Amino acid sequence: MKYVDEYRDGSVATQLAAAIAAEADPQRRYAFMEFCGGHTHAISRYGVSDLLPPQVRMIHGPGCPVCVLPIGRIDQAIRLALEHKVTLCAYGDTLRVPASGGMSLLKAKARGGDIRMVYSAADALALARDEPTREVVFFAIGFETTTPPTALVLRQARQLGLRNFSVLCCHVLTPSAIGTILESQEVRQLGTVPIDGFIGPAHVSTVIGSRPYEFFAEEYRKPVVIAGFEPLDVMQAILMLVRQVNEGRCEVENEFTRAVNRDGNLKAQQHVSEVFELRKSFEWRGLGLVPYSALRIRSAYAEWDAERRYALDYQGVADHKACECGAILRGVKKPTDCKLFATVCTPDNPMGSCMVSSEGGCAAHYTYGRFRERVA
Amino acid sequence: MSRRAYVRPLDLKHGCVDLSHGAGGRAMQQLIDELFAPAFKSALAADDIARGDDGAVLPPLGAGERMVIATDSHVVSPLFFPGGDIGSLAVHGTVNDVAMMGARPLYLSVGFILEEGFALAELARIVASMGAAARAAGVRIVTGDTKVVEQGNGDGVFVNTTGLGALPAARSLSGAYARAGDSILLSGSIGDHGMAIMSRRESLAFDSEIESDSAALHELVAAMLAAVPSSAECDDPERGLRLLRDPTRGGLASTLNEIAVQSDVGIQLQESALTVKPQVAAACEFLGLDPLYVANEGKLLAVCASADAPRLLAAMRAHPLGAEASVIGEVVEDAQHFVQMHTRFGGRRNVDWLSGEQLPRIC
Amino acid sequence: MCLAIPARIVELLEDAQGVVDLGGVRKQISLELVDGVVIGDYVIVHVGYALSRLDPVEAERTLALFASVELPGGAAA
């Protein structure tokens, strides 16, 4: 596969690993957060951590929209299917997320809910078009990468005057999440963030561009390197971050130049701002209430807003008291620091956001990296 | 025996299954006579199904041989997919289960649960496919059963096949026999069947040339056991073939984890030794699936003493169904039963059990 | 997040749709979010939508960058 295989070359990985080891100062520790769940996945799946010198550590950030989706939102989706009897279309990632009362979308399906997995928002719209007597709701989750398709689908629904289609909007915003991490109480207490730099998301950045990260680099004096999705991209980005730290620079650099520029996809941004507006605050699982961090559907599109259409109210549901996801998401604790990790909390029985999907830090460690805890 | 007189023959073009076909009366008998029996006509001896008894009497096995029995139910959707259908899958699946025990597959029983309204034309296709698969594999379908459920209570067709085979004296293979130091071999590419199914699923559908690898593996197994007998049959019990397993649902990863637990060992894999067809790899990329967890229906895993691995590999590669066979890893000591993989990239990762079916992801 | 893959456009259809090819697998997707793409272009595809065009010059430059890392002793790789 062109533009994929070349970026997974093991012999080039060895060279990059040697370069990182050569340039990382043995006297200091480097902690970099890869914000994006896709990067967490790449690091785990290819075993990138094995190729880094011991003083360079990766921290898994909250960039998995499924992980940070609060229980209360899944509850809403389940209510739509079981109580309002709609046909609920959702991405595969959401189906197993545990909600209140031991339920999940998959379990709701078993109870008779008409819940269907779709690859694309367009498939949900097509279903509504093909069957005008069927009430279809699309469960829209995701960061800025996934939002433009939802915007397009809402525009189309309005153009077509569809009467049987709506969207439950749970889209969230990357810069707000980064800001929350940087503004965490550890920062206020210690005056420093335990993170030396960020690997910026790959595909979110194709949409929003590299400009939004400049604020964080300047304000919080943290380097950001936007990296492509493949393991060589990640390693190159780590090398660039090590260099920035060594040289005392705090810039936004772009490793993913083949798909990302400073402005991003203006057409996509335009469609999004036409259809959505900022919510004043939104609950993120593991991070609590975060201001201006999520989107809701504008009143011009109210007819296609499932929250309004079905008068859904939102009830927050707290995580287990012993759950350390908040601290883990901020890079202050590791999965193994949490009492629940691998005891009560496993991928089969996730207690908090970090275990809910395979991109969560705890899930990634459990599924891919647990063998590292043992003495070799 | 004389043919029964029916009012008119089954309408195989436009007719549907209805509740009378499962009721044990004339309608069901007609289904058996006109649809099942002709399709399951074996190239060998008497047509047991057409004889119409409640069961089949089977000849005794050879001296010292023991009987192996295996059963499989098939609920695949879609019923027809590139490279096969539920019929051929049902035959291959059970033939393979018997073969993985080291036994020679001989007989199959077939149980159908049909949904009211299912098209007879499609049923005829499935049944013909089963008959052809059985004949090609040299097994006889000797008895069966049909039930019909009301519309909405089934996915068109559910099939159960139970297989009987003959296991030679002294041969013993088991998932519990793997030991540290053993080699692990795989007969070919992974992920073909699962992705062939995916390519036909609504919403996920894509265009490709991916075909299911569904195949009967018993002849490959016979060739392998001729080259490397089971440890129980070897003069030196340290040598020989320990186990055979076909990595079906849950893929290679699930099977390896099962073996690790069953044998109380760990496993180390080399990703570079695994074969994934380019289009299967690409389809997995599209949907965010890991080929390690995708189902296979025509592949097998073998664990043997490392000294016997070259001989076993040669025997596998000499057979068309093992042409792409490779040594993919080794068994190690590990009280935690981890399955670890050295990635092509140079790092390592766990290959854990899946919780539930792997689903396509956007994240 | 955001599983996305670079795929080559092999067919342009009406209504801003297109068919892309990744390693021989083809799928129909939406090109609504990208302008001025032609057959042969590579686009990043996420949930059935092309999000941006992949720049082949930059792609080569990035690969060259990986290969040019200086190893200890000053020797380039």
- For residue C5, list chain A residues with Cβ-Cβ distance below 8 A: 1, 4
Stretch A321-343: mean pLDDT, rounded? Answer: 87
Please tell me the distance in Å from B195's CA to the nearest CA on chain C: 11
Does C13 lie at the interface with A, CB-CB under 8 angstroms? no
Q: Are residues C1 and A143, on separate chains, in Cβ contact within 8 Å? A: yes
Whether the CB of B270 is below 8 Å from some CB of chain A: the reply is: no
What is the interface pTM, i.e. ipTM, of the complex? 0.91
In whole angstroms, what is the distance from residue B298 CA to residue B137 CA?
A: 13
Q: Is C51 an 8 Å CB contact of chain A?
A: yes
Whether the per-residue pLDDT at C8 is higher than 60: the answer is: yes
Q: How close, in Å, is residue C50 to chain B by CA atoms?
A: 13
Instruction: Give the chain B residue nearest C44 (alpha carbons).
Output: B286
Q: Given this model, what pLDDT does residue A186 score?
A: 64
pTM: 0.91
Could A371 and B348 be called an inter-chain contact, meaning their C-beta atoms sit closer than 8 Å? yes
How many Cβ pairs closer than 8 A exist between chain B and C?
A: 40
Contact B348 A142 (CB under 8 A): no
Using the beta-carbon criterion (under 8 Å), do B348 and A120 form an inter-chain contact? Answer: no
Residue with the two structure tokens 């008068």: A311
Distance, CA of A252 to CA of A255 (rounded, Å): 10
Q: What's the gap in Å between the CA of B208 and the closest CA on chain C?
A: 5
Q: What is the pLDDT of residue B238?
A: 96
Asked if A374 and B360 come within 8 Å (Cβ–Cβ), the reply is no
User: CA of B363 to nearest chain C CA: how many angstroms apart?
Assistant: 4
Per-residue pLDDT of chain B (363 residues; tens, 9 = 90+): 445 566 678 888 888 998 888 887 888 888 888 888 888 876 444 555 556 677 888 889 999 999 999 999 998 889 999 999 999 999 999 999 999 999 999 999 999 999 999 999 999 999 999 999 999 999 999 888 899 998 887 778 999 999 999 999 999 999 999 999 999 999 999 999 999 999 988 777 889 999 999 999 999 999 999 999 999 999 999 999 999 999 999 999 999 999 999 999 999 999 999 999 999 999 999 888 999 999 999 999 999 999 999 999 999 999 999 999 999 999 999 999 999 999 999 999 999 888 777 888 887
